[in-house]
Structure 1
Amino acid sequence: MKKILFITVCLISSMFQLASAQTDSELLQQKLAKFTTIDADFVQQVINPKGEVIQKSLGTLAIARPGNFHWQVTQPDEELIVSDGQDMWLYSPFIEQVTIMNFSDAIAGTPFALLSGADSAQWAQFNVVKKDQQFIVKSSDPKASTNTFIFIFNKADNISEFVVQESQGQKSVFTLSNNKNNSTFAKDFFEFKIPNGIEIDDQR
């Protein structure tokens, strides 16, 4: 009787541990879900397979989940990417052109799809492996992009860096700083009013 009771307790304990255990994907989703907004400065470095920095840019990043996105490059050349969750505007003042795209199509297969508030169906398309403070994300679709995404969190559990590693070895490293939690944005901050005289390339 005691043996049967012991086995029963062990089985119940094992079942409870399995039920309560989180996958790495669920853990990453939980970490990202803590932030209703991301509001930070960024430095982007493009590094070639030899480890050489071949491009560097500075700017600000604002995300209000789900879907609202504001990416402002200030150096070396000004660029602005804005989305209201439905449309995305890519504005280049230098060439006086704005490209309009469907937001979900534009960010598909990129880390911004996860940062901006992916749904369960989108998360199901990725495999996630946790290694220390890093979460390594790869597409589970063999026909999709072979890029690897890496999300890195600091001790305060804020996103400090994310990386896009291309299959050919080149990578883009985005380092965040001055990250302010749960910022409040103006109602029209995630809308873009096209200036007069600007060429429009509508790809929706």
Structure 2
Amino acid sequence: MKKLFLIIFTLSFGITIFSESTKELRERIEKSFSSIMTFSATFNEKIVPVIGETQSFKGTIDIARPCSLRMEITSPEKELILYDGEIAWLYLPGEQYCLKYRTGGEHSLSRIPGYILEPFENLIVDTLYNDTDFIFLKLSSEKEDDFFKSIELKLSKDKILPSSLTFKDKAGNKTEYNFSNISVNSNKKINFTFTPPDGIEIIEK
């Protein structure tokens, strides 16, 4: 009986320690993220569809609180994605047209700022753990009609900054961003608005 009690006590104590450690880790992430006003980086994007070939892209990303986004894809073709909190734009210079989403919040990419800067406020935490170099967050949306089924964040353990972001939609397609050359709270001016060039067709969604 004493041996059984000791085993139960040990297991209970171990679970308590793990819970406290996870709570402390979450608080450390929240504290670090709360100080980020802007986030800039270069990225490699990989789209892995359930059916079809994997696609790869390169570019830069800029994010500013509360929800502004600017993504410039430089390879294989140029694209510009902008969101100012109200309107989302997708500009394809090579195609001579742009897409305008008046309900910008409905566009899947417009949710990236919230996922990166405030993941705990926008998502449900399913898994949170760390190893020697990184912190791993697996999250899911609170909304049943959300485009993404799950979101994964990998953070550098030393600076507590996102090094990768992975989305999986309900169909099973996966989109992964790997970030490098990361800077936060820089003084560079970022334009989150868009004025279509003359002669460009505007398609409203």
Q: TM-score, normalised to structure 1's length?
A: 0.74
Instruction: List gaps (5 residues or longer) in structure 2.
Output: 1-18
Following superposition of structure 1 onto structure 2, how do residues 76-155 of structure 1 map, counting pairs within 5 Å?
A: 76-101=76-101, 102-107=103-108, 110-115=111-116, 120=121, 123=122, 126-128=123-125, 129-132=127-130, 133-145=135-147, 147-155=149-157
Q: Report whether the alignment pairs 1:197 with 2:194.
A: no
> 1:160 touches 1:177 (CA, 8 Å); kept in 2?
yes
| Among 172, 177, 194, the residue aligned to 1:174 | 177
Q: How far is the alpha carbon of 1:89 from its aligned partner?
A: 1.3
In terms of fraction of residues, the more helix-rich structure is 2
Q: Name stretches of at least 5 consecutive residues in structure 1 with no aligned partner.
A: 1-17
Paired residue type of 2:60: T
TM-score by length of 2: 0.73
Return closer, same or farther for 1:107/1:27 CA change in 2, 3 Å cut-off. farther
Given that residues 105 and 111 in structure 2 are in contact (C-alpha distance below 8 angstroms), is that contact kept between their aligned partners in structure 1?
A: no
Aligned to 1:64: 64
Once the two structures are superposed, what CA deviation does each residue of 1:175-202 show, in whole Å capped at 9, x if it has no partner? 0000012112326x11112100000112
The 1:40–1:105 alpha-carbon spacing in structure 2 relative to 1, beyond 3 Å, is: same
Taking the aligned partners of 2:137 and 2:29, their CA distance within structure 1 comes to: 7
| SS in structure 2 of the partner of residue 59 of structure 1 | strand
Residues 25, 127 of structure 1: 8 Å contact kept? no
Partner of 2:41 in structure 1?
40
Identical-residue share of aligned pairs (%)? 22
The count of corresponding residues between Structure 1 and Structure 2 is: 179
